[in-house]
Amino acid sequence: MYNIVYSQGGVCLSSGFFASGIHAGLKKEGALDMAFIYSEDECEVVSVFTTNKMCAAPIRHFRAMGDVKTNFIVINSKNANAMTGQAGIDDIKEVLSTCDARVKNPIMSSTGVIGVRLPKAKIIDGMKLFDLTKRDSASASKAIMTTDTFPKEIAFKVMLEDGSSFNIGAIAKGAGMINPAMATMLCFITTDAKVSKSEMQETLDEVVKTTFNAISVDGDTSTNDTVFVLANGRSGAYDKEAFKEALFKVMHFLALEMVRDGEGATKLVTYKVTGAKDDREAEIAAKALSDSLLVKTALFGEDPNWGRIASTIGASGVEAYEEKLKISFDNLCVYDSGTIYFDAEMEKKCAVIMQHQKFTISCDLGIGEGSFKAYGCDLGHEYVKINADYRT
């Protein structure tokens, strides 16, 4: 048995970890724009990256490092260092060559505009401002924001049956260019659990499927999507089941925070698909719903247009039949196996549900045992405004 308890501290809750954010002049008006995460001990590090074939220089640089331990990550916002070729990788090497002597095998991560070389001088000068003794996860989470409207961090203490315990915490950024194939999102997770690299990678690969890979804001997949997990083993404690549940809690919370913060979003919607031929078909249908622009705009208009739900499922390519499908808004069934319950009174009730900040659209395909939950948001005027002006 074990107990997982919410705690303050973000990435600094775990023993031996430090973090902070600073202003390096990448953003205007003194806004925080660079962050670091540092561990006194070298860490096992595992990762999951974007599926975009045009992955950014920081990802290519990390992959070229091979199987190494690290104790330091530097993160910059405002510049993605993507589509910058070998020069972008060389820029990273130059920046990281200026790290503090306590740093071992440093990693860099970036987010921002694509196709622009790193402002190396500002970043190198910014790194001189890092204080590796600071435990300020909150400022680090603010420094990595781009179009986010609020910082995102979480931490848990995990108490095991034998009296030992370990900690896990994270910071993340993401609000737009979010698609169920990883997204314009960065997530940095720290733990003092004594976990092997192989088990940590296996657990991360499994948990990402139902967290970050189950969300959608706009259907676009970024060049920079990254999840890093760093484990320094300082607690000496570990339990496989407890670690998996704690990692899920961290990643699920942050994934939903990204959807809630979707650029201009006003709704956080769960798409629950059941009765599919198998779990994979349920996943395809659920993600099609979370990704559909027609569904998203109906959510924004608070229009319970269940026909768009049915149409999207039909177009997703999964096995589905009109005479077996059931669609509900929360607990209100509007269509069931060919019978339409969507009269004027039902429309009013569903419209009230759609005014809520959170609700569920459930679709039972009536075929098998497959099920999956995806998460999405609405799409409105603010999204267009933010992304039309993004570079300026």
In angstroms, the CA 40 to CA 48 distance is 24
Q: Which residues have a Cβ under 8 Å from the Cβ of 333 and sit 6 or more positions away?
A: 326, 327, 341
- Return the residue matching tokens 């091979």: 66
How many alpha carbons fall within 13 Å on the CB side of residue 392? 3
- For β-strands 268-276 and 332-336, DSSP reports them as unpaired
Instruction: Transcribe 284-340 into DSSP letters.
Output: HHHHHHHH-HHHHHHHHTT---HHHHHHHHHHTTS---TTT-EEEETTEEEEETTEE
Instruction: Transcribe 254-270 into DSSP letters.
Output: HHHHHHHTSTT---EEE
- Return the residue matching tokens 């169920």: 180
Contact by Cβ (8 Å): 233, 195: yes
Contact by Cβ (8 Å): 172, 189: no
Please confirm, yes or no, whether 184 is among the known catalytic residues. yes
Contact by Cβ (8 Å): 224, 56: yes
**70, 146, 184, 190: the active-site residue:** 184
In angstroms, the CA 304 to CA 308 distance is 9
Contact by Cβ (8 Å): 157, 8: no
Q: How far is CA 198 from CA 26, 35, 50, 67, 229, in A?
A: 37, 28, 20, 11, 12
- Return the residue matching tokens 């497959």: 370
In angstroms, the CA 238 to CA 155 distance is 16
Catalytic residue IDs? 184
